[in-house]
A and B are shown apart, each in its own frame.
Chain A
Amino acid sequence: MTESGKPMNIVNENVVGSDSGLQTIASSERTEVDTDTPPFVFETIDLNVYYGDFRAVRDVNLTVAKNEITALIGPSGCGKSTVLRCFDRMNDLIETARVDGRVLYHGLDLYGPDVDAVEVRRRVGMVFQKPNPFPKSIFDNIAYGPRISGMAKKKADLAVIVERSLRKAALWDEVKDRLSSSALGMSGGQQQRLCIARAIAVDPDVLLMDEPCSSLDPIATTRIEELMKEIKDEYTIVIVTHNMQQAARVSDRTAFFSVEVNEQSDARTGILVEADATEKIFSTPADDRTERYVTGRFG
């Protein structure tokens, strides 16, 4: 990707919600940028998120391209999780949270009046920072999503999906003999891979991962990074990470967020400083703040 990180402001009301929305946006984009620019899966336009009166992030304009791994990095509290949770409307679950601006998913406004948040979450899977398996068996943890979405009803069909998902998450060999035992008896790293398997079992379009490796040892971390690279042909991945090496190793594009402190009110607001190809962010970033952060010299 060679585009300069400037926000894209094409909003074509006519195509929103139609099946051809993806193509229309992509082709109008083509007239401006390179022809090989991948179509955008997500695009935020002047995204502001508030928790009550507190503005957590301000005017975020970010794009996420198809079949790429996009990393969100930045200091703690800068709003990475907040932005990530806008992509599958997880913020709906927080009563005080309010989203302002637009989040386009293949051109469709996710916060539009008749968008079904449940449908959105079926297509946009999420892996949380802390492993959160259901207090059920390993099998049921993974079979739950396919079962409720009607992908498979019969036990045999579900078994196929469970095995496929566990294999993709590099967990099959470790658990294939104890699928019916409780998921809570697994190690933290296994639980996290189980959550990844659970997320991909419903065959989503996008996988959002919020610091998926923060509780894992280096071996499990490597496994998950390999997994991400393997599955990115099928999925689009957005990952939040505090680990700079990890962002550099796995991601295609990196978005750097920072905190802006208001002199008068002392309010801390998250902002998107820049988003660009990962090599560029880590070698010749456009912004000083990015350079200071990625080289470990900040403050």
Chain B
Amino acid sequence: MALSSPASIGGGTSRAMTAGLTGKSFDVKSKMVEAALVLTLAASMLILLVLIVDLLATSWPLWTDRPGDFLTGSLNSANAQSAGVWQGIKGTLMLCLVVMVVAFPLGVACAVYLEEYSSGSRFAKWTRINVRNLAGVPSIVYGLLGLAIFVNAIGGFTGGRTVFAGGLTLAALVLPIVVITTSEALRAVPRPIREGAFGVGATQWEVVKDHVLPAAAPGILTGTVLSLARAAGEAAPILLVGAATGLLRTGNQSFVEQLTGPFTAMPVVIFSYARQPDDAFREATAAASVVLLALVLLMNALAIWLRNRYDRKW
């Protein structure tokens, strides 16, 4: 066989065989595509950067002047110099807690049923389409739903215009997102893992709880935390449900009393500060936006950390 070494083919020298392999050639087209991609990326990063820099610059006097006071002070519609966002932070965290407790188990259960128990059925297909539609419903509509159901219809249970009712409204808002992200995480679990488990005599429930859910956990957790971040940023629905925009009195209530008492949240605080005619409130508005942004970014960071922490290979 003449194929034993490249140099022997056709009697050519080894230099002839390797010619052109080492020289740098310039591929104009792919360089241009690459440059265009980098530009678009830079443009979108720039927008974010400008936003953050602007917010920080506007609120800078406040942060240097009275950072602790602003973070721990209470909502004040009259005096920009003494306004604080503590009630907004607390309200947002409590809303997130309600969303977490309600939407997470419900959404995961729905997704497990749709994907694992009835995946091929007409009912499941129909439901899946509708869940996608629900995820696209504008948040203000969820606000109306919350007002009609959680505030009025079952007001006796939720206490009316309360954190609880607001949390339930936001839970309804993110439920479709939790269902969709969980479904995707479940569907990404390779079929052979299921077959292996069924093959040793596992029941449907054992397959789900011992194999499918653990394998899908990183995806489910990430999706849930991201949907929490979405809930934390919503203003319209909780405004409709009745978050306080003005002065809010809170004393030393117990947790349950707070849950069923009047409330506010960070997006609503920003909204009410922004509406103030007094120019002194510009600083406070920007500072409150920084706080909300920090909260949301923190949640996203948590999601990324969870994904990396529990990422599985198969």
Does the CB pair A128–B199 fall under 8 Å?
yes
Among A93, A95, A96, A199, point to the contact of B200 (Cβ < 8 A). Answer: A199
Does the CB pair B201–A134 fall under 8 Å?
no
Q: Interface residues of A: mostly helix, strand, loop or mixed?
A: helix
List the one stretch of B80-88, B141-149, B188-196, B247-255 in contact with chain A: B188-196
Among B190, B194, B203, point to the contact of A93 (Cβ < 8 A). Answer: B194
Distance between B279 CB and nearest chain A CB, rounded to angstroms: 59
Tell me if A58 is interfacial: C-beta within 8 Å of chain B. Answer: no
Distance between B308 CB and nearest chain A CB, rounded to angstroms: 16
0/1 string, A154-175, CB within 8 A of B gives 1: 0000000000000000000000
Tell me if A198 is interfacial: C-beta within 8 Å of chain B. Answer: yes
Tell me if A125 is interfacial: C-beta within 8 Å of chain B. Answer: yes
Does the CB pair A135–B314 fall under 8 Å?
yes
Bound complex: CA of A125 vs CA of B195, how far in Å? 11
**What A residues does B190 contact at CB under 8 A?**
132
Q: In the complex where A135-B312, A184-B313, A184-B314 touch, is A130 in contact with B192 (Cβ < 8 A)?
A: yes
Tell me if B206 is interfacial: C-beta within 8 Å of chain A. Answer: yes
Bound complex: CA of A119 vs CA of B314, how far in Å? 28
**What A residues does B192 contact at CB under 8 A?**
128, 130, 132
**Residue of B at shortest CB range from A85?**
B195
Distance between B77 CB and nearest chain A CB, rounded to angstroms: 55
List the one stretch of A2-10, A24-32, A144-152, A249-257 in contact with chain B: A144-152
Does the CB pair A122–B201 fall under 8 Å?
yes
Tell me if B197 is interfacial: C-beta within 8 Å of chain A. Answer: yes
Tell me if B202 is interfacial: C-beta within 8 Å of chain A. Answer: yes
Distance between B258 CB and nearest chain A CB, rounded to angstroms: 42
**What A residues does B210 contact at CB under 8 A?**
144, 148
Q: Which residues 84-140 in A have Cβ within 8 Å of B in the complex?
A: 88, 90, 93, 95-96, 118-119, 121-122, 125-126, 128, 130, 132-135
**Residue of B at shortest CB range from A118?**
B203
Distance between B236 CB and nearest chain A CB, rounded to angstroms: 41
Distance between B311 CB and nearest chain A CB, rounded to angstroms: 11
Bound complex: CA of A195 vs CA of B198, how far in Å? 13
Does the CB pair A132–B196 fall under 8 Å?
yes
Tell me if A49 is interfacial: C-beta within 8 Å of chain B. Answer: no
Distance between A200 CB and nearest chain B CB, rounded to angstroms: 10
Bound complex: CA of A88 vs CA of B210, how far in Å? 21
Distance between A52 CB and nearest chain B CB, rounded to angstroms: 11
Distance between B72 CB and nearest chain A CB, rounded to angstroms: 46
Tell me if A202 is interfacial: C-beta within 8 Å of chain B. Answer: yes
Q: In the complex where A118-B203, A184-B313 touch, is A93 in contact with B198 (Cβ < 8 A)?
A: yes
Does the CB pair B201–A90 fall under 8 Å?
no
Tell me if B11 is interfacial: C-beta within 8 Å of chain A. Answer: no
Does the CB pair B196–A198 fall under 8 Å?
yes
Does the CB pair A148–B199 fall under 8 Å?
no
**What A residues does B314 contact at CB under 8 A?**
135, 184
Bound complex: CA of A128 vs CA of B195, how far in Å? 9
Does the CB pair B202–A134 fall under 8 Å?
no
Distance between B208 CB and nearest chain A CB, rounded to angstroms: 13
**What A residues does B200 contact at CB under 8 A?**
121-122, 125, 144-145, 148-149, 198-199, 201-202
Does the CB pair A195–B203 fall under 8 Å?
no
Q: Which residues 186-226 in B have Cβ within 8 Å of A in the complex?
A: 190-203, 206, 210-211, 215
Bound complex: CA of A95 vs CA of B313, how far in Å? 27
Bound complex: CA of A230 vs CA of B3, how far in Å? 46
Tell me if B119 is interfacial: C-beta within 8 Å of chain A. Answer: yes
Distance between A229 CB and nearest chain B CB, rounded to angstroms: 23
Does the CB pair A95–B120 fall under 8 Å?
yes
Q: Can you list 14 A-B pairs with a CB-CB distance of less than 8 A?
A: A93-B195, A93-B198, A95-B120, A118-B202, A125-B199, A128-B199, A130-B192, A132-B192, A134-B197, A135-B312, A144-B210, A148-B202, A195-B196, A198-B200
Interface residues of B, Cβ cutoff 8 Å to A: 119-120, 190-203, 206, 210-211, 215, 312-314
A90-B198, A118-B202, A135-B314 provided; 16 other pairs, C-beta below 8 A?
A88-B199, A90-B199, A95-B119, A122-B201, A125-B200, A126-B195, A128-B199, A132-B190, A133-B196, A134-B196, A134-B211, A145-B202, A148-B202, A184-B313, A198-B196, A199-B199
